[in-house]
Structure 1
Amino acid sequence: MPGAVSEAELARSLEGGFVSRHADIGGVRLHYVEGGHGDPLLLLGGWPQTWWQFHKIMPALAEHFRVIAVDLRGMGGSDKPAGGYGKKAMAADIRGLVGHLGHDAVHIAGHDIGGMVAYAFAANHPELTGRVALLDIAPPDDRFFRYSLLPVPGRHQVDGDIHAGPGRFLWWFAFNQVPDLPERLLAGRARLLIDWMIDYLAADPAALTDHDRDVYARAYSSDEAIRAGNAWYRALPQDIADGKTYAPLSAPVLALGGGEGTRALLEPVLAPRVTDLEIVEVPDSGHYIAEEQPEAVVGHFLRFFRDRPHDAA
């Protein structure tokens, strides 16, 4: 993409002394951006985005934490191997990165796919986990098999208009399961998908600028990047099976949802899986909470990770 900005330049554009780095973890090269001082706080992003989705909150958080924003396996500047996209395996990547960085334990926050990985990390590596924040996501479970991908006549009363609501119709959960076709349709045209997703899921699409969208489109412009991102969704049946074997999380969990109604969606799934749970609906936000309402997210993170009494990670 002409005029593209490198990961190193993106990192340097943020206040807080952020730098772009790589680490070889179990044969997979992971890209991450880190800066700040204090207890380590890992940020894990989702599809179809990269670590850059946290750029609005990273400088403020870096005043209190060692902030480490990670491109997951298959994302952005990280390797895109043929397999290993189950969230338990991706959590093992993060475990390896934590060890590489020399931390005994970390706080961890994840959005979308990154939230699934954060949950799997806390479930499988409780000894490394301080506190956990999940942004507009709950762990995969059997409800994923029952999603309405399109409005159902008589139930949703929107005359078949996917944009009319209520709720979200997650057709891409099925699209991303299809082998080979997404790569052929989207290679070199990822900006079309990026724009549609943001405009559909954001309460304020303008909060994600043309520059932001270009960053994400560049990250998903190649065949291998599209294939890797889709692999996160193709692994969901395994993630659901793995989740049934996990004990409830012992780590405190903060779940942030975008706008009204998210508590009703998140609580039934999270309450049986978390022993210490707080759910907060973030007003005037859609799915992309850290970009739509960054000040609110920073405030909630400081209260939860820093100010609420706990054993420091």
Structure 2
Amino acid sequence: MPFARSADDVQLHYQVSGSGEPLLLLSGQANNLHWWDRVRPDFEREFTTVVLDHRGTGLSGKPEGGYATRTFAEDALSVLDDLGVDRCHVYGTSMGGRVAQWLAADHPERVRGLVLGCTSPGPPHGVERSAEVRRSLAQPDRLKARRALLELMYTPAWLERHDEPFTTHGGPFTTLGDPDMPPHARKGHLLASGNHNSWDALPSITAPTLVVHGTDDEFNPTANAPLLAKRIPDTRLHLVEGARHAYFEEFHHETGPLVADFLDAH
């Protein structure tokens, strides 16, 4: 079981599979590497996929502090260093897209092609979710809050067809958060996402970039996609019609080939 060490000596668990050019996949907030379970097979025939448990999740260390999207980017770099990967493609979704922004801005020589999915430049320039959405996720009834999150992630049609959603590690869902995170780590991830602000760094990204977002995403509003596309040079924007936040899973038959073709071209 492979582990790397971060610059501040946190253990970082990762997995590698597939063959071809390396592709780093970065998961969303408070999620471990299983976020990508359904998506990785779309890429493994063309790419060597690398996934990791962010600090605070999965089998990685869970320090009391050190939670920031820029730190997560340095953690990802430590994994690449451990693998001896000098340059790779990077695909980040949700908070993973925020992490990918820093990786591409701070280490342009390490990023070959960049895909930013359902993500944001962060406040104060990004578009935040509505107060109504925030209330739905913060309601005291945990079952109702979970249902609200499900409905923000997936379309009603998908949820109707997936009473027992795809999983490879025994849990009910792979995108609704790591259930084993300690409270301090969960809070750290929340603050990391909330404090993210890459606006000034975005124009320095040199990697060819694809921005992907669902047209019906209220969890991370779709309006963030054109903001990123206008701010980052050499960027293509693709909106997935009817998709919500987990477009990369529900619509993977559309977006998997889209992303693979984009990265193949660069």
TM-aligned CA deviation for residue 210 of structure 1: 4.5
Given the alignment, which residue of 211, 219, 232 partners 1:255? 211
What residue identity is the alignment partner of 1:50?
N
CA displacement 1:273-301 (0-9 Å, x = unmatched): 31011111123421112220111121111
Given the alignment, which residue of 149, 169, 175 partners 1:197? 149
CA displacement 1:89-111 (0-9 Å, x = unmatched): 11111111111110111111011
Larger CA Rg, structure 1 vs 2: 1
CA displacement 1:248-285 (0-9 Å, x = unmatched): 31111111111368996134421343101111112342
TM-aligned CA deviation for residue 118 of structure 1: 0.7
Q: Which residue number corresponds to residue 282 of structure 1?
A: 240
TM-aligned CA deviation for residue 33 of structure 1: 2.0
Whether 2:200 is the aligned partner of 1:244: answer yes
Most deviating of 78-87 and 199-208: 199-208
Q: Which residue number corresponds to residue 56 of structure 2?
A: 74
Find the aligned partners of 1:261 and 1:193 in 2 and give their Cα distance.
17
For normalisation by structure 2, the TM-score amounts to 0.82
Q: Which residue number corresponds to residue 235 of structure 1?
A: 192
Write 1 or 2 for the structure with the bigger share of helix: 1
Whether 2:6 is the aligned partner of 1:25: answer yes
User: Does the 8 Å contact 1:260/1:281 carry over to 2?
Assistant: no
Fraction of identical pairs, as percent: 24
What residue identity is the alignment partner of 1:24?
R
User: Does the 8 Å contact 1:248/1:272 carry over to 2?
Assistant: no
Find the aligned partners of 1:192 and 1:86 in 2 and give their Cα distance.
29
> Could you say if the C-alpha distance between residues 289 and 103 of structure 1 is closer, same or farther in structure 2, counting changes exceeding 3 Å?
same
TM-aligned CA deviation for residue 130 of structure 1: 0.7
Find the aligned partners of 2:238 and 2:196 in 1 and give their Cα distance.
25
Find the aligned partners of 2:163 and 2:73 in 1 and give their Cα distance.
28
Find the aligned partners of 1:135 and 1:229 in 2 and give their Cα distance.
22
TM-aligned CA deviation for residue 36 of structure 1: 1.1
> Could you say if the C-alpha distance between residues 264 and 51 of structure 1 is closer, same or farther in structure 2, counting changes exceeding 3 Å?
closer
User: Does the 8 Å contact 1:133/1:254 carry over to 2?
Assistant: yes
Q: What is the DSSP-based 3-state SS (H/G/I as helix, E as strand, rest coil) of the residue aligned with 1:235?
A: helix
Find the aligned partners of 2:234 and 2:162 in 1 and give their Cα distance.
32
Paired residue total: 257
What residue identity is the alignment partner of 1:233?
L
User: Does the 8 Å contact 2:30/2:189 carry over to 1?
Assistant: no
Q: What is the DSSP-based 3-state SS (H/G/I as helix, E as strand, rest coil) of the residue aligned with 1:62?
A: coil
User: Does the 8 Å contact 2:210/2:238 carry over to 1?
Assistant: yes
CA displacement 1:189-240 (0-9 Å, x = unmatched): 7x7754431223311234584464535599633461x431331221346422
Q: RCO (CA 8 Å, sep 6+): is it higher in 1 or 2? A: 2
> Could you say if the C-alpha distance between residues 227 and 261 of structure 1 is closer, same or farther in structure 2, counting changes exceeding 3 Å?
closer
Find the aligned partners of 1:208 and 1:247 in 2 and give their Cα distance.
43
Q: Which residue number corresponds to residue 9 of structure 1?
A: none
TM-aligned CA deviation for residue 53 of structure 1: 2.4
Find the aligned partners of 2:83 and 2:204 in 1 and give their Cα distance.
27
Find the aligned partners of 1:124 and 1:172 in 2 and give their Cα distance.
36
For normalisation by structure 1, the TM-score amounts to 0.71
User: Does the 8 Å contact 2:203/2:233 carry over to 1?
Assistant: no
Q: How does 1:1-313 map to 2 (within 5 A)?
A: 21-26=2-7, 27-143=9-125, 147-150=129-132, 169-171=133-135, 193-203=145-155, 204-205=158-159, 206-207=161-162, 209-210=164-165, 212=167, 214=172, 216=174, 220-222=178-180, 224=182, 226-236=183-193, 238-240=195-197, 243-245=199-201, 247-259=203-215, 265-306=223-264, 308=265, 310=266
